Amino acid sequence: MQYLVSVIYDASDLATPEEMAAIDVFNDGLIAAGHWVFAGGLAAPGSATVIDNRGEEAILTDGPFVESKEFLAGFWIIDAADLDVALKLAAAGSKACNRKVEVRPFR
Amino acid sequence: MSGADVREVITQVHREEWARVVASLTRRFGDLDIAEEAAAEAFGAAVERWPAGGVPPNPGAWLTTTASRKAIDRLRRESKRADKHKEAQVLYDDDPPEPAGAIDDDRLRLIFTCCHPALAMQTRVALTLRMVGGLTVPEIARAFLIQESAMEQRITRAKAKIKAARIPYRVPSAADLPARLSGVLTVLFLVFNEGYLATGPGTDPVRPGLTAEAIRLTRVIRALVPADGEVAGLLALMLLIEARRTARVSAGGELVTLDEQDRRAWDAELIAEGHRLVRERLATREAPGRYQLLAAINAVHTSAGDVRDTDWSQIVALYDQLVRLDPSPVIALNRAIAVAELDGPEVALAAVDRLADRLAEYHAFHATRADLLRRLGRGDQSRAAYDKAIELTRNTAEAASLRRRRDQLGLALRGSFSMIMKGRVG
């Protein structure tokens, strides 16, 4: 069972060296225990472009699809037996990157 | 057996077996929705067949078998439609089987799933009442004064989340158990409190259905984890409060405070059982938790045949222990009420006033201040505090009681009655 662990943040600063080091330790643990699927950090929401090609031609819009104070700053995709395991991992991830996270199952 | 007798049997079997049937089907089919629907259909079949065919020798087994068949029928229908039903066979429990004697009861798994911390508190309450308590959706909607369709939607969403996010169907590991069990007790105490001090205009001030249901579910948990002190404490607490239920509301629909209650109307049997549980916990010499201390406080109150015989120093000592465990302002407020009886209203008022910042929106804070100010002869301030308490309370019987006390205040002052009113405990 795979879960998306989204990192939620509301400022433009990047992870500090301490946070990066903690994230590395956390990632190593994920890999060692077989939970790792994928992870990545995202550039600021202002760098996003929305494309809608359902009509005649592709329409481009500058900026993210939803403007909000909080945005997706990065994510993990983890493999876990059930939500209890996923929540424990996500709690450790939140501690490591020092940000709020959201856990959402894949279908 | 007459039709009425059979209906009586079905009601009783429903009370005793509903959770077991839902729990065992959830375990077998790995799907709460299927389990709930099949259990409801099986009880429907019992209502149809038992009056004519007779009650089977083992009603629980009959219901489980019938419900399993209904579930398999539904899965076959769905597999024909969607051509995939394997996933319904998935069990979320991949723990090795627990050794005999360990906590192992499907109902316990069910309770932990319904009270999972990833669900909103209101959802946990509703789901527990539906899946474990066997209340119908309309019954739960009525109890919480929300639209049936909204309650239906809340429960449906919860079942969908449990399935999609794979909330596990198992008893938490030993390391997580205390915290998770404490979460379950919170849900049960919420159900009890809603029955005990119902909120909302136009509602019955007390809803015995909910208090009885909370007590019944706590008994189930107690039977499953008999060594847990807080489970015993919560059960004792509920019993000792429930024992006073009939004395708590007057014929006129007004809340009667503890010091004014007719103690002969208290339920002696419930009190005896509550006291037994409290003594049992004392005998273990383990450090008591929050519910055990609250139960002990209620045991002291219910040991006094007359309010004047109340051992206030014992109650204050128990509150001192409780404050160390739970520094919440509400506990401090209740401690101050006991202090008023021991050290007088002036000392108590000083303690209460220190809580003003944190309890400004809490009706009991203002009601307590009003009573203390009245006892100190500060009529105008007392009246203002009663007004504020009446404005804030959401319980109709309590509002009536507060209005009466406020209006008596006027009488007492105008008629310069001597202080005929003594302290009230709440």
Per-residue pLDDT of chain B (426 residues; tens, 9 = 90+): 777 888 889 988 988 889 899 999 999 998 999 999 999 999 999 999 999 999 999 999 999 999 999 999 999 988 877 655 455 444 444 444 444 333 447 888 999 999 999 999 999 999 999 999 888 898 888 777 789 999 999 999 999 999 999 999 988 888 888 889 999 999 999 889 877 766 655 556 666 678 888 999 899 889 888 999 999 999 999 999 999 988 988 888 788 888 889 999 999 999 999 999 999 999 999 999 999 999 999 999 999 999 999 999 999 999 999 999 988 899 999 999 999 999 999 999 999 999 999 999 999 999 999 999 999 999 999 999 999 999 998 888 889 889 999 998 866 554 443 343 333 333
Q: Is residue B81 domain-shared with residue B109, that is, in the same domain?
A: no
Q: Is residue B417 domain-shared with residue B355, that is, in the same domain?
A: yes
Q: Is residue B81 domain-shared with residue B126, that is, in the same domain?
A: no
Q: According to the model, what pLDDT value does residue B97 have?
A: 40
Domain that holds residue A18: 2-105
* pTM given for the model: 0.80
CB contact under 8 A, B118 and A87: yes
Give the separation between CA B335 and CA B352, rounded to whole angstroms: 9
Give the separation between CA B208 and CA B192, rounded to whole angstroms: 9
Q: Is residue B37 domain-shared with residue B117, that is, in the same domain?
A: no
Q: Is residue B111 domain-shared with residue B76, that is, in the same domain?
A: no
A84, A104, A107 member nearest B168 (Cβ)? A84
Q: According to the model, what pLDDT value does residue B101 have?
A: 37
B116, B166, B176 member nearest A105 (Cβ)? B166
Examine the predicted complex and report whether its ipTM is higher than 0.85: yes
Instruction: Measure Cα distances from B271 to B242, B255, B276, B342 in Å.
Output: 9, 20, 8, 25
Q: Is residue B141 domain-shared with residue B176, that is, in the same domain?
A: yes
CB contact under 8 A, B168 and A107: no
Report yes or no on B308 lying in a domain: no
Q: According to the model, what pLDDT value does residue B194 have?
A: 79
Report yes or no on B385 lying in a domain: yes
Report yes or no on B93 lying in a domain: no
Q: Is residue B81 domain-shared with residue B112, that is, in the same domain?
A: no
Q: According to the model, what pLDDT value does residue B174 have?
A: 84
Domains identified in chain B, total number: 3
Report yes or no on B244 lying in a domain: no
Residue with tokens 């007390």: B206
Three-class secondary structure assignment of chain B: CCHHHHHHHHHHHHHHHHHHHHHHHHHHHCCHHHHHHHHHHHHHHHHHHHHHHCCCCCHHHHHHHHHHHHHHHHHHHHHHHHCCCHHHHCCCCCCCCCCCCCCCCHHHHHHHHHCCCCCCHHHHHHHHHHHHCCCCHHHHHHHCCCCHHHHHHHHHHHHHHHHHCCCCCCCCCCCCHHHHHHHHHHHHHHHHHHHHCCCCCCCCCCCHHHHHHHHHHHHHHHHHCCCCHHHHHHHHHHHHHHCCHHHHECCCCCECCHHHCCHHHCCHHHHHHHHHHHHHHHHHCCCCCHHHHHHHHHHHHHHCCCHHHCCHHHHHHHHHHHHHHCCCHHHHHHHHHHHHHHHCHHHHHHHHHCCHHHHCCCHHHHHHHHHHHHHCCCHHHHHHHHHHHHHHCCCHHHHHHHHHHHHHHHHHHHCCCCCCCCCCCC
CB contact under 8 A, A83 and B164: no
- Supply the CATH number for residue A60's domain: 3.30.70.1060
Q: Is residue B61 domain-shared with residue B171, that is, in the same domain?
A: no
Q: Is residue B115 domain-shared with residue B218, that is, in the same domain?
A: yes
Report yes or no on B419 lying in a domain: yes
Q: According to the model, what pLDDT value does residue B338 have?
A: 94
Report yes or no on B32 lying in a domain: yes
- Supply the CATH number for residue B36's domain: 1.10.1740
B165, B172, B176 member nearest A83 (Cβ)? B165
- Supply the CATH number for residue B384's domain: 1.25.40
Looking at B52, B85, B118, the residue that finishes a domain is B85
* Proportion of chain A above pLDDT 90, given as a percent: 88
Looking at B209, B225, B241, the residue that finishes a domain is B225
**Which of the four pLDDT bands, split at 50, 70 and 90, describes residue A67?**
confident
| A contact residues 79-98, partner B, Cβ 8 Å cutoff | 81-84, 86-87
Residues 6+ apart with CB under 8 A from B250: B256
| B contact residues 301-340, partner A, Cβ 8 Å cutoff | none
Give the separation between CA B386 and CA B421, rounded to whole angstroms: 15
Domains identified in chain A, total number: 1
Looking at B55, B85, B115, the residue that finishes a domain is B85
**Which of the four pLDDT bands, split at 50, 70 and 90, describes residue A85?**
very high
Report yes or no on B322 lying in a domain: no
Burial state string for A74-93 with b = 16 or more CB within 10 A and e = fewer than 16:
bbbebbbebbbbbbebbebb
Report yes or no on B37 lying in a domain: yes
Q: Is residue B77 domain-shared with residue B115, that is, in the same domain?
A: no
Cβ of A103 under 8 Å from any chain B Cβ? yes
Q: Is residue B81 domain-shared with residue B110, that is, in the same domain?
A: no
Q: Is residue B72 domain-shared with residue B117, that is, in the same domain?
A: no
Q: According to the model, what pLDDT value does residue B421 have?
A: 37
Domain that holds residue B369: 337-426
